[in-house]
Chain A
Amino acid sequence: MSATALVLVASALALGTPLLFAALGELISERAGVINIGVEGLMLTGAFAGFLGCWMTGSAVVGMAAACAAAMLLGLVFALWVVVLDTDQVVAGAALNILALGVTGVAYRAVFGVTGAALSVTTFPPLAIGGDDPWFAPLRQPLPVYVALALVPLVWVVLARTRLGLTLRAVGEAPEAAASLGVSVTAIRIGAVLVAALLAGAGGGYLSLAYSNTFVEGMAAGRGFIALAIVVFGRWHPLGALAGALLFGAASAAQFQLQAAGITVSYHLLLMLPYLLTLAVLALASGTAAAPAALGRRREE
């Protein structure tokens, strides 16, 4: 492998991590039957809260905790609406995105005023693995990358091999049957939505605390929606989500490499790549019956 390829792998991992966090969370929520198109807003909230927490305490770890907590708070609102009040999931998710955009925008201005200069915070340092050896470059990633990777087998095992996982999947496939067996569909779904929010918040926190060191309005930039697509692409399986996150990470990385290499394709056309790739991937991957049977369905229906 050449040095370029190693750099590509390294940045595919770095760029794929926020997607992996969010996609794993969304996967858990969807396996319980709740589709949350508000992931984008949850990530944005995480990015802002992470930035704010780190700016106030100087600790990236505290920032990450704040990111997860803030996203969970917003996730609680979503859970209250779609699980308890049993409202439409798509519309409530859209409202969540708009709410996050407004709250982070107003809060950023309220806390930091209108400063021209970009504020920066301390970030998660890359782990020092293998010294300067270029072969180990892809491994020198900040801690959250490893946490995200470790979550893949964890989510897989919990979903496939534990009682809790079985119950959660039952709630997503046949909520009425699960309820008749004494399972609280409400409790399971609220739990799933909150875990999903936590992970989306971690993905957002990664953006402001590891991938960059600042917050920009709207900095999730569609990653939450791409995470939704990754769940479909990965057929609701954690390994599939990992593959999807790496694919999109690689596509974004390739986009930057093309730019750096001075390929004369317009910068703006390159920026379209992840979104076009999402559409292409969905067109190829959709159409199968892999989705949880009760996904997005209101209980009244």
Chain B
Amino acid sequence: MPRLEARTLLVPIAVAAIALALSSGILLVAGANPLVALGALVQGAVGDGFALADTLIKTCPLVLTGLAVAIAFRSGAWNIGAEGQLLVGALAATAAVGATRDRPFPLPLVAALVSGIAAGSLWAWLAAALKLRRNVSEVIATIMLNFVAARLVGWAVHGPLMETGARYPQSDPLPMAARLPMLGGGLHSGIVIAALLVPATWFVLHRTALGFRWRATGDNAYATRVAGLAPAEALMTAMLASGGLAGLAGAIEVTGVTGRLFEQFSGGQGYTAIAVALLARLHPGGVAASALFFGALAAGSGAMQRTAGVSAVFVAIVQATVILALLAADSPWLARRRPPTRHTEARAA
């Protein structure tokens, strides 16, 4: 964990700026006017009250999945599966509402959120168990489980969860008793849950024995084992927490935003989460800020597609550029060429 010094904040901000500049260059090559396109993007992200609300709504799942990825990566578990964990979370939440839909508020909602967390954890558990028992790379396992989860959602909305009357491949709309209460201005209360989980995650990661074990395992699994701290257990618990957060993101999306489950339910938030967590330097507080950045991009890119005719997957280019620029900023090759700062000198001494 780097000390909070100017560089800690400067690098992510510089990286975000570089990524936007480079991506605008790509817009130019793609034949769009970057000024028009970026203007539409900003307008769509923060232009008025609706745009701001849209940004916050799109930030919410990114905070949760970003925290999920940050916990996993800090623990040395390469969970690329937030996408799948989010999807099974949404699926389980929808199914749970189906089983409790005649009960009064807030029972169906609580059932949905709890089931979402449980399903996300279960999905992450599968990958962690394969890793610990069969030495299967969690990278490949979580990615495969993403595909399985997407097909599972497809199957559910074409089959058991298909709406009554079976017109479209989507679930019935959730009853009000299963919806997250609205805060006004188009915002749902899931945003509050996400906001509270930021300091909570920080606390667990930095102020509890569990978080210490996670970080120790991520820093050096061998030393952790020598110290008797059971890295396997740390990896498993970190994956369960990570999957639970991503599953909650799915449950909140379905109970707060969409109100029903359908195919292509996730717009890739689970993958965006990787960029969110890395831009945040895997720090929970940073996740809130970088999720806001990517949330604004997601909200703005829709407007950009409508106004400037630039595909919304443009955001993916920004994400990739952010990740690559951050990796380059941390490159040991560059570090060897950088004059030593007082900080590193002190460490070397």
Binding site for B on A (CB under 8 A): 37, 77, 81, 84-88, 90-92, 94-96, 98-99, 101-103, 105-110, 114, 217, 222, 225, 228-229, 232, 266-269, 271-272, 275-276, 278-279, 282-284, 286-287, 298-300
Contact = CB atoms under 8 A, between A and B. Distances in A.
B101 to A, nearest CB: 24
Interface stretch (B237-245, B249-257, B326-334): B326-334
Contacts of A106: 26-27, 30, 310-311, 313-314, 317
B155 A266 contact: yes
A100 B328 CA distance: 19
Interface of B: 26-27, 30-32, 78, 80, 130, 134-137, 139-141, 143-145, 147-148, 151-152, 154-155, 158-159, 271, 274-275, 278, 309-311, 313-321, 323-324, 327-328, 330-334
B148 A266 contact: no
B327 A298 contact: no
A217 B144 CA distance: 19
The 5 A-B residue pairs with the shortest CB-CB distance, nearest first, are A102-B316, A105-B313, A99-B320, A268-B155, A102-B317
B330 A95 contact: no
B148 A99 contact: no
Contact of A110 (B31, B159, B278, B320): B31
A87 B317 CA distance: 19
Interface SS of A by simple majority: helix
Given A95-B320, A278-B144, 15 more contacts: A85-B328, A90-B139, A91-B274, A92-B327, A95-B319, A99-B317, A102-B314, A106-B310, A107-B30, A232-B137, A276-B144, A286-B135, A287-B134, A287-B135, A299-B332
B331 A87 contact: yes
A135 B100 CA distance: 58
B324 to A, nearest CB: 5
A279 B140 CA distance: 8
Contacts of A108: 311
Contact of A275 (B144, B154, B158, B327): B144
Contacts of A81: 324, 327-328
Contacts of B328: 81, 85, 87
Contacts of B310: 106, 109-110
Interface centre among A88, A90, A94, A287 (most CB of B within 10 A): A94
B151 A269 contact: yes
A267 B154 CA distance: 9
B48 to A, nearest CB: 26
A96 B148 contact: no
11 contacts: A87-B331, A90-B139, A91-B327, A98-B274, A102-B315, A110-B30, A222-B147, A225-B144, A225-B147, A275-B144, A286-B135
A272 B154 CA distance: 10
Nearest to A278: B144
Nearest to B131: A286
A95 B322 CA distance: 9
A91 B136 contact: no
A71 to B, nearest CB: 16
A285 to B, nearest CB: 9
A88 B327 contact: yes
Contact of A37 (B139, B155, B158, B315): B139
A241 to B, nearest CB: 15
A92 B324 contact: yes
B165 to A, nearest CB: 20
Contacts of A37: 80, 139-140, 143
A87 B330 contact: yes
Contacts of B311: 105-106, 108-110
A275 B31 contact: no
Given A94-B274, A228-B140, A269-B155, A276 B148 contact: yes
Contacts of A275: 144-145, 147-148, 151
A44 B214 CA distance: 35
Nearest to A82: B327
B155 A96 contact: no
A23 to B, nearest CB: 13
Nearest to A300: B332
Nearest to B169: A268
Contacts of B144: 222, 225, 229, 275-276, 278-279
Given A84-B333, A106-B30, A283 B320 contact: no
Contacts of B317: 99, 102-103, 106
Interface centre among B139, B318, B319 (most CB of A within 10 A): B139
A49 B94 CA distance: 40
